[in-house]
A and B are shown apart, each in its own frame.
Chain A
Amino acid sequence: MTSTVSSAPAVRRGTAARHPYLAALTTTRARIGLVLVGAVVLAGLLAPLLSSHAPTAQSGRALVPPGTGGHLLGTDDLGRDLLSRLLYGIRTDLEVIALAVPIGALLGCAFALLAAVHPVLDTVVQRAFDLVLAFPGLILALAVTAILGPGRLPVIVVITLAEIPVFGRQLRAGILVQRERDYAVAARVGGTRRARLLIRHILPNCADPLVVQLAVSLTVAVFLEGAMSFLGVGVRPPEPTLGNSLSQALPYLSQAPYFAAGPLLIVTLLVLGLSLLSEALNRETRR
């Protein structure tokens, strides 16, 4: 009888020792983050259903305050519906970010794995990372748009380029540590091939900081998109993004503050949600 009683906490401990990512998602911090990010993403995905105007349609009534003439958030300086522009802006941001960040992460990891193969390759890859990092984010953006001109493609290229060394360095540091661990040495002595050791044994053990970095990088991507719009080298109007909606509102801040309110709120919610998520993941994986 006593054995069943004493085994009960053991079972509970069993459920508590879930995967750290799942454990992270049950914290209050992560739940708030998930709700915030989820709400913004959902609003972007459902843009065609939630908005009654086309994002680029001009109604002829410029800078109408919220709630008038069927414009829930009012209109911008060209008479376009602010709600539609906000929702479709989220959409553009999501498309750009969902493409650029994973590509940057994958390329960064690929370079780090390549660097792990041979010391000469390591030096070459390291110097290449140094070179990209020698251009602070926005200077990189200016350099890239000098070649490509403004638009959607340079935004994707800039975000990708900026993320490659970040993920690459992160993974390289992880590989260097894991490579000297007992299990890796044992596998090497046991005759495991280098590629297999690297990909099947070492890589999974380096994953945690990369997952945290992914959440951080999504915030950086939101920042880069917006910053490029402010510098006039981002996604070209009339296509709306969160960044260019906000930068277009800049000259009208005193005249029509509601113009800026939507993108201001959404960008804040999105980045706060993402950073809550990354913080929760970070705490849980570091235990």
Chain B
Amino acid sequence: MGRYLLKRIPSALVVLVIASVVVFGILRLVPGDAATALAGPDASEESVAAIRRQLGLDQALAVQYVHWIGDLLRGDLGPSYAVGGEVADLIGEGFGATVELTLGALLLTIAIGLALGVLGATSRRRSVRGVVQALTTGALAVPPFVTGVLLVLVLAVGFAVLPSGGRVGLFEAPDLELQYLLLPALCLALPSAAVVGRYLKDSLQQAFSEDYIRTATAAGVSRRRLLWRHALPNALPPVVTLIGMQTGQLLGGAVLVEAIFAWPGLGQLAETGLTARDYPVVQDLLLLLVTVFVLVQLLTDVVHAWLDPRIRWE
């Protein structure tokens, strides 16, 4: 295991370092630098130059990069240019909302995925299996912005049982917040739930064809006990890895779902930052998102390697 970590962690670090250079480079490639954007359209040459000096934009790129990374590591993200406030506060606020949405979606992914997988693999009715199959295919194929709009049309406009967008804050009004969270989390969770459900179904069917199940059936073990005590525990480990991988997907997908449901998370912040050309916000945000994504991937790989020794020796 130690050997695997020694191989896997440096490669993740390399990806992160290159990603940070790319993110840093991206914003230097943008036509018109931050100082011009900040100074406004009628600013004189001198005032633009003054702002540039004040922000340290007149220094060499390498120096700017080192300053940026150094500040980041010390946790000093500095003030935002245009959105207003400290970058750290903005990102912290958005991060909370996005994590809440992602965790909500993760719970729904697990619940719906388990239900779809177990029903699809064990139901004796053809019609039930057909419905599960259709739901899975649909949820996998249809993009979240379509399901999002459909959910709003049916549950917020048609039946008017849930709000169509926005957020009140988990700590201010937990019961209300759950109502606001349900639609976006469901919209975000559906594709991942379909992936998990399909995989679990195959995994369960595989488990049900094993000898120990036949032996247990012959010994008179009930169907329910067969499923929960014998087949499911054996089918679950690869599904756990898959759920880990889906967490990364959920985080990426949250950006879109936030835009549909006006959820004030990191996606919304990125949108605002981009339109306002607020480089510190965008730069730090992109790096944060990539870092979290790479960490989730790393964690998933490590868990997978821990569960399956063959991977360690590849």
Contacts and interface: CB of A to CB of B under 8 A. Distances in A.
Given A227-B256, A253-B152, A267-B143, 5 more contacts: A137-B252, A231-B259, A233-B274, A250-B260, A271-B141
Interface string A215-229: 000010011001100
B311 to A, nearest CB: 15
The 5 A-B residue pairs with the shortest CB-CB distance, nearest first, are A136-B252, A275-B141, A223-B143, A271-B141, A138-B255
Contacts of B16: 134
B149 A264 contact: yes
Interface of A: 127, 130-131, 134-139, 142-143, 145-147, 219, 222-223, 226-227, 230-233, 243, 246-247, 249-250, 253-254, 257, 260, 264, 267-268, 271-272, 274-276, 279
Contacts of B275: 232
B255 A142 contact: yes
B255 A257 contact: no
Given A231-B255, A260-B153, A275 B137 contact: yes
Interface stretch (B59-67, B71-79, B289-297): B289-297
Nearest to B25: A147
Contacts of A227: 143-145, 256
B198 to A, nearest CB: 11
Interface in B108-162: 137-138, 140-146, 149-150, 152-153, 156-157
Given A127-B14, A142-B255, A134 B274 contact: no
A147 to B, nearest CB: 5
A136 B246 CA distance: 12
Contacts of A231: 255-256, 259, 267, 271
Most chain B CB within a 10 A radius of its CB, from A137, A222, A227, A247: A227
A222 B144 CA distance: 11
Contacts of B19: 131, 134-135
A134 B293 CA distance: 7
B143 A271 contact: yes
Interface stretch (B26-34, B42-50, B211-219): B26-34
A134 B15 contact: yes
Nearest to B147: A268
Contacts of A253: 149, 152-153, 156-157, 164
Contacts of A226: 143, 145-146
A264 B290 contact: no
Interface string B239-264: 00000000011011101100110000
Most buried by B among A139, A223, A267, A276: A139
B249 A136 contact: yes
B286 interface: yes
B244 to A, nearest CB: 14
Most buried by A among B143, B249, B271: B143
B101 interface: no
Contact of A139 (B150, B156, B293): B293
Given A138-B256, A227-B143, A264-B150, A143 B251 contact: no
A276 B138 CA distance: 10
A130 B15 contact: yes
A246 B145 contact: yes
B282 interface: yes
B18 interface: yes
Contacts of A279: 137
A249 B11 CA distance: 44
A246 B150 CA distance: 11
Interface centre among B140, B149, B286 (most CB of A within 10 A): B149
B157 A254 contact: yes
A130 B298 CA distance: 12
Contacts of A264: 146, 149-150
B227 to A, nearest CB: 27
B55 interface: no
B107 interface: no
A118 to B, nearest CB: 19
B86 to A, nearest CB: 21
B37 interface: no
Contact of A146 (B164, B255, B274): B274
Contacts of A246: 145-146, 149
Interface string B270-311: 110011000000100010011001100100000000000000
A138 B141 contact: no
13 contacts: A131-B22, A135-B293, A136-B249, A146-B27, A227-B256, A230-B256, A233-B274, A249-B149, A253-B149, A253-B164, A254-B156, A271-B143, A276-B137
Given A135-B19, A257-B157, A271 B290 contact: no
A272 B221 CA distance: 41
Contact of A219 (B11, B141, B156): B141
A264 B147 CA distance: 9
Contacts of B150: 264
A129 to B, nearest CB: 10
B207 interface: no
A139 B127 CA distance: 40
Contacts of A127: 11, 14-15, 18
Given A143-B286, A147-B26, A136 B248 contact: yes
A180 B145 CA distance: 44
